[in-house]
Amino acid sequence: MSHRVRRAVIGITAALIGFLSAAPQAAAHGFSSTAYVHVTEGDDGLVRTALKLEYDLLVVSAADAEHDDGLFTAGTAAFDAGDTKAQGAALNAHAASATSYVTGRFAVTADGEACTPRRAGDFTMDRQEGVPYAVLPLDWTCPEIGGGHAIRSGLFPDAETYVSGTKTIVTYDLDGRSGSAALDAAHPSFSVDQPWYAWFWEFFRLGAEHLLTGTDHILFLLALIAGSRRLREIVLAATSFTLAHSVTFMLAALGAVDVPSRLVEPVIALSIAVVAGWYLWRIRRRGGHAADLDTAGRGHFSLDSAGWIRLGVVFCFGLVHGLGFAGALGIDQAWSWTLLGSLLVFNVGIEVVQLSIIAAVFPLLTLLRRRSPTAGLWVTGTISAGVAAMGLVWFLQRVFGI
């Protein structure tokens, strides 16, 4: 391969990795938000909701919308200090403004008629994926028309410019039904008696979008693809990864595991660097001989000891990625059975996108390797080097907050 072509290949590959690891990472980690709502029906006929909202986002959004400078000053000072008691006190001192913001963008209806909200207690504080969240209890008085409840959420819309792509995860036990729903700007409402396929599509789409916008997971997958020489090798690696994160999905839904995101997120970043670095180590060990390393072989296929170790490493890191996936659905409470079915559909959405990426990228790399083993080695090596570098950068950022 000529030096000019080689430089072009490296430049294009590096630009692609740079694009993937810059903008989407910001959107997936820091500029989007997820709200969590639990809805039940009280014995007194009231609809009871508990809304869990990202604290600092609620403060700035409510202060801006309600023109409450006091909320902004007290709320941001408490956030910067990391003082949970002060955060709750700031919200409760300005409860009217914060509650008005929420009830103006979140609603419960019964047979199309609006229910009337009333704050049912003080704001309390919780954490979700290592981030402080405010919990607001609201009771809703609905017309006496016998059910037909629907939920609508327009919390933290893109138009406010603080975040983009906010999602609201709702779990409910209402009208004799229990289940969950995922709401966003494109699908802002749902009815409790929605058909099963509407629920299935909501969480399938949510899983697919989560993988597509979770750049760290995509780069981990690219590292697996680049480091796999044969179809059976990437299938085994992808299957190992799938089984592992499915295990932690289930354990999280059962409340058997609860690992803070401050530990999960750095390990996810480190997993990217390790899996990509593994392939670079193999290149160095073989002396960079493309014919030995990258040519897609024919005939008998078996894993050597290094191959089995790689599968074990992928499985272990898959367990950690599963905790990250579960965190996106708020699966961190014991016995979250109402979310279990939704979590499984969410998982299906992730797997479909994962298989689609493999189906699109792996054949191209295989074709390149067969036509020009040297070019294939340069491309896969460049991908792995770029992915490893980004993994290390994210690891340092998540550990030291830089």
Min mean pLDDT across 77-86, 143-152, 253-262 is at 253-262
289's CB contacts (< 8 A; 6+ apart) are none
Q: Using CA atoms, how far apart are residues 124 and 133, in angstroms rounded to an integer?
A: 9
Cβ proximity of 213 and 31 under 8 Å = no
Q: Measure Cα distances from 113 to 47, 103, 108, 148, 194 in Å.
A: 14, 15, 9, 10, 17
Q: Taking the complete model, does pTM exceed 0.75, yes or no?
A: no
Cβ proximity of 134 and 52 under 8 Å = yes
Task: Report the pLDDT value the prediction gives residue 31, as an integer from 0 to 100.
Answer: 66
Min mean pLDDT across 94-98, 235-239, 277-281, 287-291 is at 287-291
Task: Report the pLDDT value the prediction gives residue 120, as an integer from 0 to 100.
Answer: 96
- 13 pLDDT more than 60: no
- 28 pLDDT more than 50: no
Residue with tokens 């409402």: 189
Q: Using CA atoms, how far apart are residues 151 and 90, in angstroms rounded to an integer?
A: 28
Cβ proximity of 6 and 378 under 8 Å = yes
- Write down the domain spans for the chain: 3-29+214-400, 34-203
Q: Using CA atoms, how far apart are residues 246 and 6, in angstroms rounded to an integer?
A: 40
- 73 pLDDT more than 70: yes
Q: Using CA atoms, how far apart are residues 39 and 149, in angstroms rounded to an integer?
A: 11
Task: Summarize pLDDT for 324-343 with one digit per residue, the tens.
Answer: 776 666 655 545 555 667 77
- 96 pLDDT more than 90: yes
Q: Which two tokens stand for residue 223?
A: 């590292």
Task: Summarize pLDDT for 238-247 with one digit per residue, the tens.
Answer: 888 888 888 8
Q: Which residues pair with 168 in a beta bridge?
A: 35, 183
Q: What average pLDDT does range 243-271 have in this prediction?
A: 78
Phi/psi at 320 (nearest 5 deg)?
-70, -40
- 319 pLDDT more than 70: yes
Task: Summarize pLDDT for 172-211 with one digit per residue, the tens.
Answer: 888 888 777 888 888 899 888 777 787 788 788 878 887 8
Q: Using CA atoms, how far apart are residues 72 and 137, in angstroms rounded to an integer?
A: 21
Residue with tokens 């999960």: 264
Angle of the 196-213 helix axis to the 305-328 helix axis, nearest 10 = 120
SS3 content of the chain, % helix, strand, coil (to 5): 60, 15, 25
